[in-house]
Chains A and B, each alone.
Chain A
Amino acid sequence: MPEKLLEIKDLKVVYKTDENIVHAVNGLNLTLNAGEALGLVGETGAGKTTTALSILKLLPEKIGLIEDGSIKLDNIDITNATDADMRLLRGNTVSMIFQDPMTSLNPIMRVGEQIEEVLLIHHSDMDKKSRDERVDQILQLVGLPPERKYEYPHQFSGGMKQRVVIAIALACEPKLLLADEPTTALDVTIQAQVLALIRQLKEKLNTSMILITHDLGVVAQTCDKVAVMYAGEIIERGTAKDIFESENHHPYTTGLFGSIPDLTKSSKRLNPIKGLMPDPTNLPLGCKFHPRCSKCMDICKTKEPGEVEYGTHMIKCHLYK
């Protein structure tokens, strides 16, 4: 039985603004074992980043709120953890790679110092020399020459900055890595390198990972498990094999696959999913996907579907019973 690292139960997150309440995550269930990589897939606004920020407890202050549910990371109850407890976890047990490497580095600190800072916070027993060695080592690990640690972020290209960000995230060998679209800002060759790097490091350090992306190709390459998110809930979940090879799918997942160009088929047009994500301040009754669903039935408009499981494969749709 593999060790359970992360367990999210019935998570509900809202953003409260003066005008209205945004339901960003609505009853999300997720478990992740040590060493596993999970791909969190979905459209913009599906609540993927919100989920990641909830794990770090870094939702925007005063606005973002975990309304219900529990998050357990490494047997620690995140939902009830104090700020001081969270600071010990962040960067050490769980760390995050942000979307945009251009803005996620401090522009006036040398990159070496920025990597060193995480070590300084979480390994106060390390002396300057061993910290320096570790910085060199981690830079080499992500494929950057260690001499460049004396340079500033603006002297690096986008791909190299993202390597620095990855280096910072991995400096303390976290148990869980949250990668929020780590390759979106990079070109395809660098993207492949960075993904290979992440995969390789994940195996070496036995790190678990949640990879947030809208690129199904990236997921297929990197992840063991896949969860498809729609309007703040997971509508389909399973191993990579379940998602990429099985016949049974949630209509939304089918739609997602239909939106990817396939070089082996000679279709003239892509089949995008019609319509837009529902307004998160005013979600539809029943299944949240029903207004866009081609297989919509009467029951979908009134009753929310339950989670139907076939072994490792879960689908939340009235089509399956």
Chain B
Amino acid sequence: MGENKSKAKIKKRSQLSSILFRFSKNRLAVLGAIVFLLLIIISLSADLIANYEEDAITQNMKNRLMMPHKDHIFGTDQFGRDIFARIIFGARVSLSVGLATVLTSLIFGTLIGSIAGYYGGKIDDILMRIMDIFLAIPSMLLAISIVAALGSGMHNLLIALSISQIPRLARVVRSSIISVKDQEFIEAAKACGTKSSRIIIKHIIPNAIGPIIVQATLNMASTILNIAALSFIGLGVQPPTPEWGSMLSDVKTQMRYYPYLAVIPGVAIMIAVLALNLIGDGLRDALDPKLKN
């Protein structure tokens, strides 16, 4: 009986749960995950906390530039809009565009990078030279020119940021695939009759995923910064839609006398980026079962 029980226990811990278990041992990463989850929950339930039209969009000159107090815990901006409401609705934009960008670039980057890394030779040359062309243009400049060509707006922002992220990610994927593919267990898998696609998906990518995940979470952090930056120069999300970067941009002239107007969205950006970086670190360790403790 007892033996059976312990057997069942061992079996129960699936791949995913053992990764979660290792992740949960890293306190900073858990803190990052909690903060990030909170951000997601807040942005999802923003409508319950505040009214989008009334608090975040409508100008109310009576209340302009109020210091934080009990009715407006983060104060109000130069148009009398509640900053707290704008922050939580802004989180929606940053997180959804950030997440979508990372997923898109992750899918295409992994596809391109793993094909280039696994097959090598001419395919590798062609794909990587195309990536090199994109890498030769500074990613911010590339994003700016894509947005300028397609017009500003959320979808175009997503496309522009994804395209500027793909080459970097593809390079990371390719190099980590190359470091794995010549190991003997890949040869052993081939000797068992495993198909190339299965070898890539089941054997190579899981072994190479560490750097890819870390790069992806760091990309998400830098994407949030890029959205803010593009909005700051007026190419991202258009006013009056609340977004952290455009909030910073809006208060350029008031910053000197009302510093909290800039500090609050700045801190929001910082918290989101920091949380993502901590998660990235934790995931890298959790994905490697060989790591002691």
Contacts and interface: CB of A to CB of B under 8 A. Distances in A.
Q: Is chain B's binding surface mostly helix, strand, loop or mixed?
A: helix
B195 A87 contact: yes
A166 to B, nearest CB: 12
A95 B289 contact: no
B202 interface: yes
A299 B281 CA distance: 70
B290 A117 contact: no
Contact of B185 (A104, A121, A152, A154): A104
Nearest to B183: A103
B10 A122 contact: no
Contact of A106 (B10, B191, B193, B207): B207
* Chain B interface bracket (under 10, 10 to 19, 20 to 34, 35 or more): 20 to 34
A107 interface: yes
B62 interface: no
Contacts of A152: 289-290
A87 B193 contact: yes
A106 B11 contact: no
Given A105-B188, A106-B203, A107-B207, A121 B289 contact: no
A58 B10 contact: no
Question: Range of interface residues on chain A?
Answer: 20 to 34
A90 interface: yes
Contacts of A105: 185, 188
Contacts of A108: 206-207, 288-290
17 contacts: A56-B191, A58-B187, A62-B121, A86-B193, A87-B194, A90-B191, A95-B191, A100-B184, A104-B188, A105-B188, A107-B185, A107-B207, A108-B290, A121-B198, A122-B193, A150-B11, A168-B192
Given A103-B185, A117-B202, 5 more contacts: A86-B193, A104-B187, A107-B290, A108-B207, A150-B13
Interface of B: 7, 10-11, 13, 15, 121, 183-185, 187-195, 198, 202-203, 206-207, 288-290
